[in-house]
Amino acid sequence: MTIEAAMDISSRIETALDLAVSHAESPHGPPLLTEAIRYAVFPGGHRIRPRLSLAVAIACGDRHPEAADAAATAIELLHCASLVHDDLPCFDNASLRRGRPSVHAAFGAPLAVLAGDALIVLAFETLARGTMTCAHVLPILMTTIGRSVGSPHGIVAGQAWECEKTVALTEYQRAKTGALFIAATAAGAAASGQDPDPWRHLGERLGLAYQVADDLRDVLCDEAELGKPIGQDAALHRPNAAAQLGIVGAKRHLEDLVQSAVSSIPDCPGAPALRDLIKAQTKLFFPKQLALVAA
Amino acid sequence: MTIEAAMDISSRIETALDLAVSHAESPHGPPLLTEAIRYAVFPGGHRIRPRLSLAVAIACGDRHPEAADAAATAIELLHCASLVHDDLPCFDNASLRRGRPSVHAAFGAPLAVLAGDALIVLAFETLARGTMTCAHVLPILMTTIGRSVGSPHGIVAGQAWECEKTVALTEYQRAKTGALFIAATAAGAAASGQDPDPWRHLGERLGLAYQVADDLRDVLCDEAELGKPIGQDAALHRPNAAAQLGIVGAKRHLEDLVQSAVSSIPDCPGAPALRDLIKAQTKLFFPKQLALVAA
C-alpha cells in the first residue's frame, strides 16, 4: 500500500465522518448537543478501526464504496460514543481525552450521555444512508456491527463487565476491545460483497494486539504523550498485560499477535497491499518507548 | 376493533419484546447488564407507542407481520432506553418508575447508562432481524425510526433542549414526545409496505395529546397512581399545558387533539377499526380525575 493510498483512506474517512455528523446538525436542533456530538468525533485519534475496515473493503475490491465508507464511519461513531460514555463520572471519571477536556468535562454529564446516545443512533442511520444503492448489504452490516456493540458480547457488554464482582477476563477483553475490531474487518469485507467470516480472525488478532499495546502505553507513556490519564488500569484495578507478562513479555506477545494477524489475511486482490498497510499501521500503536526495550 | 383484536396486539408486542430482549442475553454475557436490560423493559407501561404502531400496520393490511412486530418492538425498546437515561441522577434523578425503583436506583448509574445504550443497539438489531424476509422495508424503517430518536429532531434532541439556556418550546415538545409517536404511525404503515408520510399527522396529533395528558397527570394524580414522582414539571421548571391553559382548557385541548387525530386516519382497509381502537386507547391516558372536571 503506497502512502498515497493510505492518505486516500484517511481522507475518505474524515469526509464520510463529516458528512455523517452534519446529518445530526440543524439550525433548529439543540445547539449544545450538536456541538458536543461534533466535539466527540473531531479531531479524532488514529482512526484505527475505520482505517482497518476501509482497508479491508479496498483489499476486497471496494465494490460498494459508499457502503464501505458507511461501515467505517458507523464503527468510528460507535467507538466515539463508547469513549464519551466510558469517560463519564460514573465510570472512569476521566477529564482528559485526546489531549483536551473529555466531553463531560467540556459540556457536563447530561450532554455527554445524550451525545453518546445520538452517536449510536447516527451510526445506524449512516449505514442506512450509505447503502441506498446496495441495500442487499445493509442487513449483514447491521448485524455484524450491532453484535460488536450491544449485549451480550459487544463493547457495551465489555464495559458492563467492570460492574460485575467476578470478571470473565477473556470475555471482558474480547467484548471491550476485540469485538469492534472484528466488526471492522468483517464489515469491510461485507461492504464489498464478500463473506465476512474469513475476515474475523484478522480483526480478533488486531484487537488483542491493540489491547496489549494500550496496556503498555498505560504503563510506559506520560500523560502529555497519551492525551489521557496514565496508570488508569492499576488505579481502577483493571487487568493489564504489561503488569501480567512484564514489559518484555508483553512486547513479544504483541509482535506475535501482529504476525498472526498478517498471516491470516484471506486471499483477495489487495492482500499484499493490505499486509503492508497493517504492518505500517500496527507500528503506529507500538509505544515508542518499546524501541529501547530489549526483545 | 374488537377486544380480541386488541388483546392480540398486546400479546404480539409482549412476545416480540421478549424475543428481542432474549437476543441480548447469554450465559457468557455480563449477568447484571442483561438483568438490567430485562428490568428496563418488563413489566412495561401501557405500551402505547408499539400498540399504535402495530395497530396502524394491521389497519394497512399487515403484509409483513414480522416487520411490523420488529418496528413496534424497536420503538418500545428506544422508549425504554430514553426512560432509563432520563431517570439518571444527572437528569431527573427519579428513583421511581412504573411503581418500583428506576433502573439506576436498582442497578446503579453505570449499568443504567449501559442498559440504555444496549437497548438502542438492540432496537436496530431487531429491525434487521425482523426484515429478513422483506429486506426492502428495512431502509425506510431505519430512517423513519432513527430520525425520531437521534439528533437533531428526535427524543435525544428533545432531552437535550433541557440542557439549553433558551428552549425552543415547540421544537422541544415535538422532539421529546411527538417524534416517537410520529415514528410509530409512519413505521407501522411502512412495515406493511405503505407510504408512511400520510400517517405522520396521526402520530403527531397523538403525541401532542399524550404530552397534554402527561402534563395533566403530573398535576392531578398522586404518586402511587402514577408510579413515578408527581409535580416534576414545576419542580424542574418544565413547561406544562395544565399550568398554561388551566385544567379545563387543557382537557378541551386534549379532546380536540384526539378528534383531529382520529379524523386524519388515511383511507385503508382497517380504518374504521383503527378509529375505534384509538378512541378506546386515548381514553386510557386521560387521567381519571378529569371525569370530575366540567368541560
CB–CB of B30 and A147 under 8 A? Answer: no
Say yes or no: A258 contacts chain B, CB-CB below 8 A.
Answer: no
Residue A91 confidence (pLDDT) above 60: yes
Name which of B29, B124, B132 is nearest A151 (Cβ-Cβ). B29
Least confident piece of the model among A28-37, A93-102, A188-197, A242-251: A242-251
* Of A210, A257, A281, A277, the residue nearest A59 (C-alpha): A277
Residue A172 confidence (pLDDT) above 60: yes
- Which pLDDT belongs to residue A199? 98
CB–CB of B28 and A153 under 8 A? Answer: yes
List pLDDT tens digits, range A40-84: 999 999 999 999 999 999 999 999 999 999 999 999 999 999 999
How confident is residue A236, by pLDDT bands cut at 50, 70 and 90? confident
- Which pLDDT belongs to residue B171? 86
Q: Which phi and psi (to 5°) does residue B223 adopt?
A: -60, -40
Q: Which residues of B touch A122 (CB under 8 A)?
A: 146, 150-151
CB–CB of A164 and B32 under 8 A? Answer: yes
Angle at which helix A179-191 crosses helix A65-86, to 10 degrees, equals: 160
Say yes or no: B106 contacts chain A, CB-CB below 8 A.
Answer: no
Q: Which residues of B touch A80 (CB under 8 A)?
A: none
What size, in residues, is chain A?
Answer: 295
Q: Which residues of A touch B26 (CB under 8 A)?
A: 152-153
Segment (H or E) for A100: strand A100-101
Segment (H or E) for A105: helix A103-107
Q: Which residues of chain B have pLDDT under 70?
A: 1-4, 6, 226, 291-295
List pLDDT tens digits, range B145-165: 999 999 999 999 999 999 999
- Which pLDDT belongs to residue B36? 98
Say yes or no: B30 contacts chain A, CB-CB below 8 A.
Answer: yes
Percent of chain A with pLDDT over 90: 73
Task: Write out B166-210 in H/E/C secondary structure.
Answer: CCCHHHHHHHHHHHHHHHHHHHHHHHCCCCCHHHHHHHHHHHHHH
Say yes or no: A281 contacts chain B, CB-CB below 8 A.
Answer: no
Name which of A121, A138, A142 is nearest B156 (Cβ-Cβ). A121
Q: Which phi and psi (to 5°) does residue A100 adopt?
A: -150, 175
Q: Which phi and psi (to 5°) does residue A263 adopt?
A: -65, -25
Q: Which residues of B touch A163 (CB under 8 A)?
A: 30, 32-33, 108, 110-111, 114
Angle at Cα B223 formed by Cα B221 and Cα B224, nearest 5°? 105
- Which pLDDT belongs to residue A219? 84
- Which pLDDT belongs to residue A283? 83
Q: Which residues of A touch B124 (CB under 8 A)?
A: 124, 142, 146
CB–CB of A81 and B114 under 8 A? Answer: no
Please give the grid coordinates belonging to residue B247: 385544567
- Which pLDDT belongs to residue B3? 61
Query: Taking CA atoms, what residue in B is nearest to A130?
Result: B139
Cα(A248)–Cα(A240) distance, rounded to whole angstroms? 14
Peptide bond into A43 cis (omega under 30): yes
Higher pLDDT, A133 or B167: A133
- Asked if A71 and A127 touch (Cβ cutoff 8 Å), the reply is yes
CB–CB of A117 and B120 under 8 A? Answer: yes
Coil vs helix vs strand at A124: helix
Interface residue of A120, A129, A159 to substitute, partner B, most B CBs within 10 Å: A120
Q: Which residues of A touch B146 (CB under 8 A)?
A: 121-122, 124-125, 128
- Which pLDDT belongs to residue A44? 94
Residue A294 confidence (pLDDT) above 60: no
- Which pLDDT belongs to residue A220? 84
Cα(B288)–Cα(B213) distance, rounded to whole angstroms? 11
Peptide bond into B266 cis (omega under 30): no
Cα(B151)–Cα(B157) distance, rounded to whole angstroms? 5
Give the pTM: 0.94
- Which pLDDT belongs to residue B235? 77
ipTM: 0.93
Q: Which residues of B touch A29 (CB under 8 A)?
A: 151-153, 157, 171
- Which pLDDT belongs to residue B94? 93
Say yes or no: A164 contacts chain B, CB-CB below 8 A.
Answer: yes
